[in-house]
Amino acid sequence: MEGTYFRKGFGLRAAIEGQIAGDYHSGLVEAMRANDYRLDAGRLSFRLAREFGFCYGVDRAVEYAYETRRKFPAHQLTLVGEIIHNPHVNSRLRQMGIEFVFRGADGQFDFSSLTPEHVVIMPAFGVTVADFAQLRAIGCVLVDTTCGSVLNVWKRVESYARDGFTAVIHGKHYHEETKATASQVTKYPGGRYLVVFDMAEARLVCDYIERGGEAGEIAQRFANAVSPGFDFERDLTRVGLANQTTMLSSESLAIALEFRRSMVVRYGEAAIGEHFRTFDTICSATQERQDAVVKLLEQPLDLMVVVGGYNSSNTTHLAALCRSRGVPTYHIEDATAVDVETGRIRYQPSVKAAEITAGDWIRDARVIGITAGASTPNNKIGETIVRTCVVAGVDPPLP
């Protein structure tokens, strides 16, 4: 595999640092950092969460993609899905001549156009075991940007499958990261997984563990979220918990406790080690950004603006945290959602909801909180602040 599989970079960071800074840096955001994460502009006072934007894993993935373009200037570069869930970053990579391949209607990637001459970049979410094997068989050069936190979860899921435990994953079964994580069980004969989206779904499974009974209804409910041939009676006697790294960490921990409680109900505390395992794979970056938002919300805020892709799991959870505290929250995908011509804002009011617009969103606001998901570059945060000032009729700060 050596020579055609790369995971540790090409030593070209110094060569691409200027380009990265030009594409994503914000002097305004740096000024806020230096001013205790605060910026005053006319009647407005912006308060920035103390942890926000690009995390280490995203930084690494984006830098590695730029290095790959520099390393292979004459090769066709292809990205499996999106490098991260941010429209601005992915658009920039397209401008650099990187092609994207997405899943088709059948849920599969079509790699038929790839040859050994292609250089293929795998995203920060990783790829499934089957997709990796297919790419290796083609013989193309592979550049793996999978986040280290995701790899830690993979190791845990693999250990469950190896030891005969079903991996119960708190995540979104359709998300690329969860697809890749769940596929790790296929490395072992009899490996099984089940994906639960939230506590409500977890409770359905836990009720079945405790009471048993006819599995038809629950099997139908989770038809798209279980491994092939999953048997609810057979495959829930020994379970190990894992999580998509960008889910609400507090909910992941609560779901793990709920499964443990149900296993105690069914098998007794003395036998818990034979039937239940838990994880220590909460992503520190996800946790830090969630904690920072909670801390920010301890002070009086008139509204919150959350910047990041609508398909970014960690961003949608930051927005949900803000809404849960009763603060008017505007989750925007990009700074251009703040329309300086009309004064309106385009935003997603809840997870997976259709985008809507509001014309009186700024109203009499004075103190505005702002944060961004782990895949949002700093320049989009800075641009959002400037455009908000224009809409409010105050002089925007100099970057």
Catalytic positions are 177
CA dist., res. 116 & res. 100, Å (int): 17
Contact residues for 258 (Cβ-Cβ < 8 A; gap 6+): 199, 202, 203, 206
CA dist., res. 22 & res. 20, Å (int): 5
Residues 28, 386: contact at Cβ < 8 Å?
yes
Listed in sequence order, the DSSP H helices in the chain are 13-24, 27-34, 56-71, 87-95, 129-138, 148-162, 176-183, 199-211, 216-221, 249-267, 272-275, 284-296, 313-324, 378-392
Report in angstroms the alpha-carbon separations of 295 from 56, 325, 382.
21, 11, 21
- Beta strand pairing call for 77-80 and 119-122: parallel
**In a 3-state reduction of DSSP, which class is residue 44?**
strand
Q: Which two tokens stand for residue 202?
A: 């977890």
Nearest to 75 by CA among 147, 178, 4, 1: 4
Q: For residue 240, which phi and psi values (nearest 5 degrees)?
A: -125, 135
Residues 39, 385: contact at Cβ < 8 Å?
yes
Q: Which amino acid is at 31?
A: A
Report in angstroms the alpha-carbon separations of 167 from 160, 171, 177, 193.
6, 12, 15, 5
